[in-house]
Structure 1
Amino acid sequence: MTAGETGRGLLELTRPVNVIAASVLTAIGSFVAGGITEEPVAVAAAVAATGLAVGAGNAINDYFDREIDRINQPDRPIPRGAVSPRGALAFSLVCFGASVALAVTLPLAALAIAGINLVALVAYTEVFKGLPGVGNALVAYLVGSTFLFGAAAVGQMAPAVVLFLLSAIATLTREIVKDVEDLEGDREEGLNTLPIAIGERPALWVATGLLLVGVVASPLPYLLEYFDEAYLAVVVPAVAIMCYGAYESFADPTAGQRYLKYGMFLAAVAFIVGRAATMVAIA
């Protein structure tokens, strides 16, 4: 195996698309908290720490899943021989170490979030992944916490708390719908997801109930006067799309989770628009 193939394998272990997405979410959290221009060094450190932590978490998950992947995902770096199990573990530890080194330069609240997330990333595969709903909840927390981490990095968590909650709820809803979509394959692999444990339709009703909590909470940034009407103008259609996704998931989980993803993206845009409009009004 050449050095180039090994390098490509290590990059694949990190799931670059996931790394970029999580880093962008952290940057959005900092922007919503008003720290992009005021604390650019802290924002850069938080974004880099997030990317390294996500890459490390994905790599160590592949290390733990290497035997399953030899059957289900033989083209992944470890099964195909591009990276050895020991090499993947060492790479993950180096990335984790670099992430911690960056996190310790940030405020205490950001450091605490980073510490909790690092433990969660390591424990996900071995401890939580096989527990019905718990693995979904952990993934939802990790996605939502990227916004909170970005805000904490600039010392202004309050504006991002609602964004964290809404993102976590929407992610949990989508994770449950995805498990319904993957029901047959998961059952064949012996997994115990929420739809397998309680049934397909009850799981979808759980997902819908969670989303409704998010819908009720979505006006809070406006009611708390963090943002003005510009936020509402974007978040209302975002919520409508997500509600339609939850409805559609009962007939077609694949289409339903796709609409949920679109709505989540638009909801993130709503926070960006809300913060930008506030900055313009202040100026």
Structure 2
Amino acid sequence: MASIMVAENKGYLRRKILAWIDIIRVGNCIALGYATIVGYILGGSKVFDQAMLFKLFIAAFVIGGSSNIINDYFDASIDAINKPWRPIPMGLIKANEAYFVSLIMGFIGIILSFTITYMNGIVALIAFALAYLYSFKLKKVLLVGNLIVAFSAALSIIYGGFASTNIVIDTVLATLFAFLLNFGRELLKGIEDVEGDKKYYIRTLAAVKGIKVAYVSSLIVFIILMLLSIIPYVFIGYSMYYLIMTLCGVDLVIIVALTIASSLQPKDALRSTRMLKVAVFVGITAFFVEGLKKYFIV
């Protein structure tokens, strides 16, 4: 009997840990931390300050985790329809637990950010406030919610740039590309979540104007992004490495994702948005490689 209870406790603990990893969205938080490091390198610091890089990564990670948790907290009813496997609807994490952990993580991220620079602290405060406003209210405002998510994701690059005390054209371009890529992805996510969004009056483009309008809008955003993606190579002198990574790892992935989503089916939109995470990672890495070449190798 005792061995059965021990096994059950171990099983519960494992499910609990996996639930927290899921609700925090560890992969997304790692991507945010990585983006801040890229922003720092693009800023042109000549010396790798390892302590600075560590603080940047951890601060972005915990603020991102806080934002993801509070989003699940406010979305529990919607997720019960769209994504019943999420930790709160499944009962693996209590709503009040999620809310408390979100506050703690956000507080840690803001305090840590102010130890980097004053501007990093301000950016962290803005990101934290936007996450709460978005989750609580603004996601129900047509397009505003999508814009906030895209802006918050792109903000991580600027955040890293402030730590280097040097915001350059490279930082601005990387931020713009990250914004457009995430904005287009958010429009497709509206197709993925359309049924639950309609029921709970979440005014995404797909829920208000229809799935086809949301798809065409995302298509336009991605076309603009793909056209802009060659600017650093043609006009700023970025290397062939950047061009190859962008064309093959970003633009090609976008084309495949849009082709899949063209069925206008929520399940295919889900596949597309997951695929676009690859484009986000490769796009950030293209700027990372270029930053290393421009400021540290040459």
* Interval containing the TM-score (normalised by the shorter chain): 0.7 to 0.9
Structure 1 residues 27 and 191, CA gap change in structure 2 (3 angstroms): same
The one-letter code of the counterpart of 1:152 is: F
Q: Could you state the TM-score of these two structures normalised by the residue count of structure 2?
A: 0.80
Q: Tell me how far 1:154 sits from its aligned partner.
A: 1.7
Q: Tell me how far 1:79 sits from its aligned partner.
A: 4.8
Q: Tell me how far 1:112 sits from its aligned partner.
A: 2.5
Q: 2: CA distance between counterparts of 1:97 and 1:19?
A: 16
Give 2:282's match in structure 1, choosing from 266, 269, 272. 266
CA contact (8 A) 2:36 2:57 kept: yes
Deviations 1:108-165 (A, max 9, x none): 3322221211111111111122223221111111111112212222222222211111
Higher RCO (CA-CA < 8 Å; seq separation 6+) = 2
Deviations 1:196-255 (A, max 9, x none): 212222222221222222223223333563633322232233224324533553236535
CA contact (8 A) 2:158 2:167 kept: yes
Q: 2: CA distance between counterparts of 1:185 and 1:13?
A: 19
Residue 219 (structure 1) aligns with: 230
- Report whether the alignment pairs 1:144 with 2:160: no
Residue 262 (structure 2) aligns with: 250
How many residue pairs are counted as aligned between the two chains?
282
Q: Residues 117-196 of structure 1 correspond to what in structure 2 (within 5 A)?
A: 117-158=127-168, 159-188=170-199, 190-196=201-207
- More deviation in 223-232 or 2-11? 2-11
- Report whether the alignment pairs 1:107 with 2:123: no
Structure 1 residues 263 and 57, CA gap change in structure 2 (3 angstroms): closer
Q: Could you state the TM-score of these two structures normalised by the residue count of structure 1?
A: 0.83
Give 1:40's match in structure 2, choosing from 47, 50, 53. 50
Q: 2: CA distance between counterparts of 1:267 and 1:75?
A: 30
Structure 1 residues 53 and 173, CA gap change in structure 2 (3 angstroms): same
Q: 1: CA distance between counterparts of 2:91 and 2:54?
A: 34
Deviations 1:57-107 (A, max 9, x none): 222233333455566666655455554443332222221111111110123
Gaps of 5+ in 1: none
Residue 75 (structure 2) aligns with: 65
The one-letter code of the counterpart of 2:205 is: L
Q: Percent identity?
A: 24
The one-letter code of the counterpart of 2:101 is: F
- Report whether the alignment pairs 1:239 with 2:254: no
Q: 2: CA distance between counterparts of 1:263 and 1:120?
A: 25
CA contact (8 A) 1:239 1:267 kept: no
Structure 1 residues 192 and 147, CA gap change in structure 2 (3 angstroms): same
CA contact (8 A) 2:66 2:106 kept: yes
Deviations 1:16-47 (A, max 9, x none): 22222222222232233344843322221111
Secondary structure in 2 aligned to 1:251?
A: coil
Q: Tell me how far 1:11 sits from its aligned partner.
A: 4.9
Q: Tell me how far 1:12 sits from its aligned partner.
A: 4.5
Q: 2: CA distance between counterparts of 1:19 and 1:265?
A: 12
Q: 2: CA distance between counterparts of 1:271 and 1:56?
A: 27
- Report whether the alignment pairs 1:52 with 2:52: no
Q: 2: CA distance between counterparts of 1:126 and 1:29?
A: 29
The one-letter code of the counterpart of 1:231 is: Y
Alpha-carbon RMSD across the aligned residues, in angstroms, is 3.1
The one-letter code of the counterpart of 2:137 is: V
Q: 2: CA distance between counterparts of 1:206 and 1:270?
A: 26
CA contact (8 A) 2:190 2:206 kept: yes
- More deviation in 68-77 or 125-134? 68-77
CA contact (8 A) 1:29 1:151 kept: yes
- More deviation in 111-120 or 164-173? 111-120
The one-letter code of the counterpart of 1:199 is: G
Q: 2: CA distance between counterparts of 1:226 and 1:86?
A: 52
Residue 29 (structure 2) aligns with: 19
